[in-house]
Amino acid sequence: MALADLTKQLAQQAILSATREPPPPPVPANSTGGAILAQIAAMQKALKDDEELVVLFQNAGERLRVMEIFLAAPQVAVLSGMDANRVLTRVIAPVETLELVTKTVKVPPGAKPVRVGLVTTKSKDSSGK
């Protein structure tokens, strides 16, 4: 009977873990890029259901609403989003130079709030895998 109980318990744990929200992306230790991602993740986590976080980047006259931040390396960020003309735009920059402006805004009734995608690269172990 103990084997049946163990199997039942494992099945319940599998179902519970499959229905949970996915954890936020891992943050690289001791990096400026990781700190930026952690701050944005924390701000988004605190939002209400009818709010979204607007993240803006401005440089050389270009203004971009950031929809995704990808850490290509601990020191390099790729920002993707829409410019003023609603054209998909990407910025590749050292994370130390990034200055992002964030604001919380209410979403119009019936609209779904947008969340900024936060992506990091998988770190390789010492064997290169």
pTM, rounded to two decimals: 0.70
Asked whether residue 101 is domain-assigned, the answer is yes
Range of the domain at 88: 29-120
Asked whether residue 15 is domain-assigned, the answer is no
Average pLDDT, the chain: 83
Maximal CA-CA distance, the chain: 71
Q: Which helix (H) or strand (E) holds 68?
A: strand 62-73
Residues 10-29 have a mean pLDDT of 62
Asked whether residue 75 is domain-assigned, the answer is yes
Count the domains in the chain.
1
d(CA 74, CA 2): 48
Asked whether residue 16 is domain-assigned, the answer is no
Asked whether residue 106 is domain-assigned, the answer is yes
Identify the band that residue 98 occupies on the pLDDT scale cut at 50, 70 and 90: very high
